[in-house]
Each structure stands twice: as C-alpha cells, then as structure tokens.
C-alpha cells in the first residue's frame, strides 16, 4: 500500500507485532516495503499498541494512491484532544494522590540516618608542606564546605535563581513544580523533576537518582521534615555544598575555584550567575573514548557550549530581576564574566600522587595516620588538612638538582635523595621518583609480597662499621693491614681490593701494612674494614647499623630482611664480612636516618612525615586534632663519644674532594661509596651521604630497573665523586642558606685502644707516606662481591667496650 510523502496510514494489520530496529536513540516501527524490504518511519513519537477494545477510532484504510477521508481525519483529531484531556486529568489525580501520600507518610516515615547531620558529606583532604604550600589533594569527591554566611546576598540569589527562585517562599515542596513536571512527563513533554532545592539536596545526599513516583514522594517527605528542623540558610548551605558544578567540582567553593580561580566568598553576582546557570547541566555527554558525543547533550560549561551557557545566564539574571533581587539598571549593565580555561580550572578530587616528586610522601602520610587511627578511606572523605614535615623550598632544590644531573646521563639512570632534621627526625625533602603508585627508589617497597628497595651502599656503610669498632674498643688510631687480599683456596676465598687501587697507591696515604682506621675511612680502603668486621663479627656491624636507623638489609639474592625480626646473633649468614664495606643493600631513607643519628650525638629520632592534622569547619577554619599531631620520642642509641668520633672523621672526607666545602665555611661531614656491576669495572650504585648539624642527607644514583653501567651521555663513568657528589653538595649548600652555622664535633682519638688491629710497622723508617689531600674528584669503584665466607687469622679482641642501645622497634616496619 503506497503512502504519500510525510503520511502515515493505518491498515488492518497496523496493531500486529512488528519488527523494530535501533534508529538514533530510540527504536521505531518498521513497515513492509514493496518487494519485501523495510525502512524506518522517521523519528515521530509512536503510540503504544493498545488492545482492540480500547483502540481509538481508526480511519478507513486508505486506498492505493488516495488520502484518508475528512471524516477519518476528524475522528483522529477528536481522539487526540480527548487523549490530552484524559492524561491531564490523570496527572492532576497523581498530584492529589501525591499530596495525600505526602501528608500520610510524613507522620509514619522514618528519616533516621538520613537527616543532614548524619548524611555523608565527603570533603577532600589537603596535604601541605610545612611552610603552608599544598603539595597534594586526596578525596573521592572534590569538595570543600563553606559557610553561606560568607557569601554576598546577590551571590546567593544568583546561585539559586535558575533552579528555585521561590526557595525562600515554599516549605520544601513546590506543588506547582510537581504539577508541571507530572503533566509534562505524562503528556510526552520534556521530562522534569519538579524539585525544590531542598528536594534536590535530599536526592543528592541520599544518592537516590531513580526517577520514580516513590522516590519523589520520599524526597518530598524528607524535604518537608528538613524545612521543619532547619532554617533556610542551613538548607541552602546543605545544597550549595553538595551540588555538582562540573569541572570536577562539587560544592560552590570548589566550583568558584574551578571556573574563576577564587573563593566563593569573593564571587561577583555576574560570576555566581554563571555557576547558577551551569547547575542545570554541568557537563556534556561523553563517548567511551572521552570525547564529547556530537549527538548528545552539550552541557552548559561556557567553554564547551558558550551560546547556550550565556542564554541560561541571562535567564538567571532575569529571574533575579523578577524577584526584585536585582534592579533593571544592574541587569542592563551586567557583563558576562571572564572564566579561567577549562584545562586549568578542571581539578580532580585527587592529585599530587602521580607526576609529582612528593607522590611517595603520600604513602608515608597514609601509613602514619593509619597507625594513629585515621583510615585511608576516612582520609579521602574527612576534610582534613595534613601538614607534613616536607620543606617545600628544600624539596624544590632536591628535585631541581636531581633532574639537572640526570639529564647529563644515559636514559637508564635514576637518583634518590632524602634529607632529615637530626634533632627531630622530620623528613625535610624526599625524592624517590615521580610516581607515588610505582616503585619508590628512596624507601621500602612491597612488591609481590616481598620487601624491595635496597641498594648496595658501598663504602658509605663503613661509618657503621667504624662505630661498631669504636664501640668494641678499637680506636681510630689502631692500625691495620691494608694490602690487597687475594683468594688462595677454600680457606681464604675472598679477593678484597682497595677499590681498584694498588698497594703502591695506598702507600701515598699510609704504610700498606700499618694503616690507621681513621685513614682507611677517609681514603675509603676496604681491606682494613674487612679485617675489622672479621674481628668483631658481622653481627656487631649489623646491630650498630640497626641502632643508627637501618631497618632492612638485602642479601646477595635480593632477599630483604627486617633487622628487628632477628632474635639473637646473626652469625655470618646471610650477611658475612663484606657487610663491613657495603655489599648488602639498604634504603636511602634508612641511610639518611643513620646519618642523622651521628649528627645528633647518637640520639635517634624516628623519621616521620606528619606534623599536624586539622579538620575543616563550615566557617572555613580548620580545627586542630591534637591526638594526631607530631609526638617526638628521641632515643639514646649510640654512645655520644662514639657518634662524635664518627662525625669528626667524616668531616675529614670533605676536603679530599674539590669544591665540596660549603659556603661560608659551614661544617659538614660526608662519606662516599660505589658498588660495581657484577664482576665488571663499571659502577652500578654510587652514593654520597653526610650532614651538617641541621640537615642529614643521603643521595643515591643507580638504575631504574636492571643494574646497568652508570654512564654519562658522553660515555664517562659515574662515580660518587661526580654526579651524586654534585647533587649532595649543591643541595646541602642551597638548603642550608639562612641557617645559623653550627659546629660539628672535631675531636678524635678519645675512644678505644690503639693496640687493636693487625697492622705491622715497617722494619725501618725509610717509608714516609704522603698524606696530602687528593686533587682528584673521582673516588674509587668498589670491590667485587663474594658469596663464599671464610675467616682469616687476626688478633683476638679486647674486652672493654662502650654500649650500643638497640631499638625496641623501628620506623615504618610493615
């Protein structure tokens, strides 16, 4: 049966079930085509199929090539008019039933757990540096509450004029709005909610987005009860602090920042009208790939849909004039405000974790607050302001120095730096990479259920060995055989070199058979520290390192051991004599902590990241929560005389490297160290650690993944005297500016016996070693590791020993 253009005919089979196919956003009927084909019949709204006894009068079937009769058309028009009357009557009935239901349920419905004081009001948590600079934000919802009393009256009126201009006149329910919505929804018009701001708040707060009569009734009940128990200003505050504005912002305070870069308290009424317009449809429809759907709703963000946004802005201002909130003159002179770019204004509820040098700090904040009683989920919703120990100036210096140096090297390079305050344990700067969700090169990780993160410290480990020796009554003046140890047989399996320097080179600084422990540390000779460790035992070196602040050691197979878990002596497994000169891995954070203990005369402070915790209040202020604030607990871990002698000896290292002295003659102490890559001459790890009286610093340079040769882009080898040394010196020099110059201990030779050691004096005084400072800035590579322990004969120890106080617990233990 043929049809004229734009016509739709009804035949005997028009009410039979027809196949349907998707067309645009809705299904449409498909009618048979001549020849057995089918095609969609436009986008017109289609009436639902009705049973024959309820069907409206139908025109006679049109004959081929002829239009319906006038009588048939009149019958259809009559039915359409009656249909609208019936639907309108039905809508009115719904309204009356709804009002009755509201009255009935008001007295019987319970709102326990849904009242405003109990509804969830998630607010972001701000993570701050110690100097007030925000470094991160945590949250599931990007919102900060604000007291509406801080907002200008015109601003408030502009925010609500587009959505509920009668807000101050109704009692939570707009019956005319419900009627209009019911009629439109029932007659096929634009779907409307008919909700007041009070109802919108209830819907948002209860997260009930279902579009149904039961939901609307419950909204109305709760809205009416809210109006009975709270003032208009309070309800307005509930609404404005929970409504979604787009650009990642929930609530007017974050919206003002996202659209105008200012607090809501500083908005003009023209700017507030933009936000009041946006509320209706803040964001466009997006496709799965994140792009805007060209066939979907465009939203009312002025950058995406400027014409519609400005029209809606005008509508808001006109409503303000209608309510006499704005006079005609102000309306006439109102100018559409300038907004900040969407890319700049759009903020996530969570940032500062990825792509930030302080991203790893957040993990320590989580850990510390969790131990104090604030769970991670609570931290993301509780509206806290956490002030960390991080000094933003020092953090900036650390990151700048590391990035500058890494640009000079090959792509595989990575570096980490930790700086702490020796007097308190506060972590002042921390860099272990730019991804707080990835591997932290400065601290402890748990990957695959196993602890990772240790780097072979090389000669920097000797400071703990020296402290262990002093504690065991071995003095700095004791002398030791510094000649290279060569592997002979299974009884003597070690080959230990002085970082690649021959005995003739050792002779520049001491008699190779009779080298003082002090010279061995300053010049970084390994052989004497092998003998020292053999004499006192690896266990004493490990326990001294633990007392100073080393939590974990990693063996040759990269298995990490939590030192606090060991009961009794370690013996020689899994850590043997090479522990004395740095074969086994430690973390940068632990090493910085150990340096801080020596800088602080043997007093240990737990390294920590949280200074103060506050919680946001409605008036914009923050209330201090003292139960979560910093609590210092210094512990005497190493005898002061021992710690001071270590510090004094480390000061002698600084002048051996050109350009390492700090500005103004500020006292500083340092120790260098490298460790080779397998049995090659290439370095895989390079360190410099040390301190002033106010700052302890550990710097490591290594690899991002597999251990590769540390090389500059031009192929030169990286060792402790160049890249890590430059980072360490430049950081400490810049970070110390403005601080008072405090002296470090400089007296040595007061602890231990000079007679300890296996050194043998030369038979004649013909050997006169040279002890002048080296002009080279390239310290030694470290010796190759060995896994086969065997003792060598050396003198037995003497009994008199200062005491090491071992910790009962260590920081950051999982």
Q: Is 601 left (phi over 0), alpha (psi -120 to 50) or beta?
A: left
Angstrom distance (rounded) from CA 359 to CA 301: 31
Cα distance between residue 315 and residue 317, in whole Å: 5
Residues assigned a catalytic role:
163, 459
652-656: long-range contacts at Cβ-Cβ below 8 A with a sequence spacing of 24 or more? Answer: 652/518, 652/522, 653/521, 653/522, 653/690, 654/690, 655/773, 656/522, 656/523, 656/773, 656/774
Using alpha carbons, list the distances in angstroms from residue 77 to 49, 56, 133, 171, 677. Answer: 18, 11, 70, 42, 91
Determine the average pLDDT of the residues in 620-639: 95
Give residue-wise pLDDT tens across range 722-759.
999 999 999 999 999 999 999 999 988 889 999 999 99
Task: Give percent of the chain with pLDDT exceeding 70.
Answer: 74
Binned at pLDDT 50, 70 and 90, residue 78 comes out as: low
Query: CB count, 10 Å around CB of 403?
Result: 13
- The yes-or-no verdict on residue 182 having pLDDT over 60 is no
Q: Which parts of 373-414 fold into alpha helices (H)?
A: 376-379, 392-406
Compare 195 and 94 and report the one with higher pLDDT.
195
Identify whether the C-beta of residue 124 lies closer than 8 Å to the C-beta of residue 383: yes
Residue 1 has pLDDT above 50, yes or no: no
In sequence order, what are the residues at sequence separation of 6 or more whose Cβ sits closer than 8 angstroms to the Cβ of residue 376?
366, 370
Averaged pLDDT score across all residues of the chain: 82
H/E run at residue 611: strand 610-616
Mean predicted confidence (pLDDT) in 764-780: 43
Q: What is the mean pLDDT of residues 165-188?
A: 71
Q: What percentage of residues in the chain have a pLDDT greater than 90? A: 61
Q: Cα separation of 609 and 408, whole Å?
A: 31
Residue 255 near residue 300 (C-beta atoms within 8 A): no
Q: Domains (ranges, CATH) in the chain?
A: 120-141+349-388+609-633 (3.90.1310.20), 142-345 (1.10.3810.10), 400-602+637-735 (3.40.710.10)
Specify the pLDDT at position 79: 54
- pLDDT above 90: residue 165: yes
**What pLDDT score was predicted for residue 219?**
75
Strands (DSSP E) contained in 669-807 are 669-676, 683-691, 696-703
Top pLDDT among 699 and 621 is at 699
pLDDT value at residue 75: 57
- pLDDT class for 115, splitting at 50, 70, 90? low
Give the highest mean pLDDT range of 284-288, 726-730, 795-799.
726-730
Give the pair of three-digit tokens for residue 323.
């309510």
Radius of gyration of the chain (CA): 39
Asked if the model's pLDDT at residue 391 lies above 90, the reply is yes
Looking at the predicted structure, is the pLDDT value of residue 774 above 80? no
Task: Decide if pLDDT at 41 tops 70.
Answer: no
300, 312 contact by CB (below 8 A): yes
Q: At 180, which helix (H) or strand (E)?
A: helix 175-186
Q: Is the pLDDT of residue 430 over 70?
A: yes
Name the pLDDT band for 184 (thresholds 50, 70, 90). low
Measured torsion, CA atoms of residues 604, 606, 607, 611, in degrees rounded to the nearest 10: -120
């Amino acid at each position: 049966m043929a049809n004229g253009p734009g016509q739709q005919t009804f035949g005997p089979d028009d009410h039979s079930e027809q196949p349907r196919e998707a067309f645009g956003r809705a299904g449409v009927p498909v009618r048979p085509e001549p020849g057995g084909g089918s095609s969609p019949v436009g986008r017109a709204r289609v009436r639902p199929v009705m049973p024959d006894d309820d069907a409206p009068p139908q025109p006679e079937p049109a004959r081929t090539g002829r239009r319906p009769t006038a009588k048939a058309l009149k019958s259809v028009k009559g039915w359409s008019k009656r249909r609208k009357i019936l639907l309108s009557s039905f809508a009115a009935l719904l309204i009356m039933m709804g009002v009755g239901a509201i009255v009935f349920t008001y007295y019987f419905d319970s709102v326990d757990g849904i009242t405003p004081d109990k509804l969830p009001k998630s607010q972001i948590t701000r993570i701050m540096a110690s100097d007030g600079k925000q470094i991160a934000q945590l949250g599931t919802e990007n919102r900060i509450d604000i007291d509406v009393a801080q907002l200008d009256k015109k601003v408030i009126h502009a925010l609500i004029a587009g959505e509920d201009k009668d807000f101050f006149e109704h009692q939570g329910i707009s019956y005319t709005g419900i009627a209009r919505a019911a009629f439109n929804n029932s007659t096929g018009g634009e779907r409307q909610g008919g909700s007041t701001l009070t109802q919108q708040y209830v819907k948002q707060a209860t997260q009930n987005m279902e579009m149904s009569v039961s939901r609307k009734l419950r909204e109305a009940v709760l809205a009416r009860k809210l109006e009975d128990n709270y003032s208009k200003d309070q309800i307005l505050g509930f609404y404005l602090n929970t409504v979604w504005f787009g650009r990642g912002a929930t609530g007017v305070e974050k919206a003002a920042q996202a659209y105008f870069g200012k607090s809501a308290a500083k908005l003009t009424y023209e700017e507030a009208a933009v936000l009041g317009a946006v509320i209706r449809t803040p964001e466009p429809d997006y496709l799965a790939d994140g792009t805007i759907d060209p066939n979907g709703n465009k939203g009312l963000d002025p950058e995406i849909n400027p014409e519609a946004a400005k029209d809606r802005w005008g509508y808001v201002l006109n409503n303000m004039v209608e309510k006499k909130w704005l006079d005609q003159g102000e309306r006439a002179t109102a100018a559409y405000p300038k907004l900040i770019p969407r890319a700049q204004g759009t903020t996530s509820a969570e940032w500062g974790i990825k792509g930030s040098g302080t991203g790893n700090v957040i993990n320590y904040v989580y850990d510390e607050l969790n131990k104090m009683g604030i769970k991670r989920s609570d931290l993301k919703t509780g509206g806290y302001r956490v002030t960390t120990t991080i000094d933003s100036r020092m953090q900036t210096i650390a990151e700048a120095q590391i990035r500058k140096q890494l640009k000079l090297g090959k792509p595989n390079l990575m570096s980490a730096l930790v700086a702490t305050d020796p007097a308190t344990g506060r972590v002042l700067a921390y860099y272990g990479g730019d991804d707080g969700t990835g591997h932290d090169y400065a601290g402890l990780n748990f990957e695959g259920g196993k602890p990772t993160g240790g780097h072979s410290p090389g000669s920097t480990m000797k400071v703990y060995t020296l402290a262990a020796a002093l504690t065991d009554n071995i003095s700095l003046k004791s002398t030791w055989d510094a000649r290279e140890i060569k592997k002979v047989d299974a009884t003597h399996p070690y080959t230990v070199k002085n970082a690649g320097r021959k005995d003739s080179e050792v002779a520049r600084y001491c008699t190779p058979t009779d080298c003082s422990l002090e010279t061995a540390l300053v010049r970084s000779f390994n052989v004497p520290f092998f003998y020292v460790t053999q004499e006192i035992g690896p266990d004493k070196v490990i326990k001294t390192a633990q007392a100073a602040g080393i939590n974990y050691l990693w063996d040759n197979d990269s298995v990490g051991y939590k030192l606090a878990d060991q009961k009794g002596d370690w013996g020689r497994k899994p850590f043997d004599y090479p522990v004395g000169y740095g074969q086994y891995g430690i973390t940068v954070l632990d090493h910085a902590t150990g340096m801080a203990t020596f800088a602080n005369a043997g007093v240990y402070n737990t390294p920590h990241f949280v200074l103060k915790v506050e919680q946001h209040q409605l008036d914009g202020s923050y209330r201090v929560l003292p139960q979560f604030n910093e609590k210092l607990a210094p512990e005497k871990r190493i005898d002061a005389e021992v710690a001071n002698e270590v510090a004094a000896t480390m000061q002698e290292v600084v002048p051996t490297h050109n350009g390492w002295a700090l500005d103004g003659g500020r006292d500083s102490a340092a120790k260098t160290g490298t460790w080779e890559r397998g049995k090659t001459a290439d370095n895989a790890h390079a360190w410099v650690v040390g301190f002033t009286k106010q700052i302890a610093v550990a710097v490591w340079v290594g690899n991002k993944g597999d251990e590769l040769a540390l090389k500059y882009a031009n192929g030169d080898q990286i060792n402790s005297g160049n890249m890590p040394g430059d980072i360490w010196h430049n950081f400490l020099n810049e970070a110390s500016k403005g601080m008072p110059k405090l002296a470090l201990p400089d007296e040595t030779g007061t602890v231990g016996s000079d007679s300890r050691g296996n050194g043998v004096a030369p038979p004649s005084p013909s050997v006169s070693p040279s002890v002048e400072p080296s002009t080279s800035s390239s310290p030694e590579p470290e010796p190759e590791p060995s896994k086969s322990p065997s003792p060598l004969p050396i003198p037995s120890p003497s009994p008199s020993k200062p005491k090491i106080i071992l910790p009962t617990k260590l920081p950051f233990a999982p």
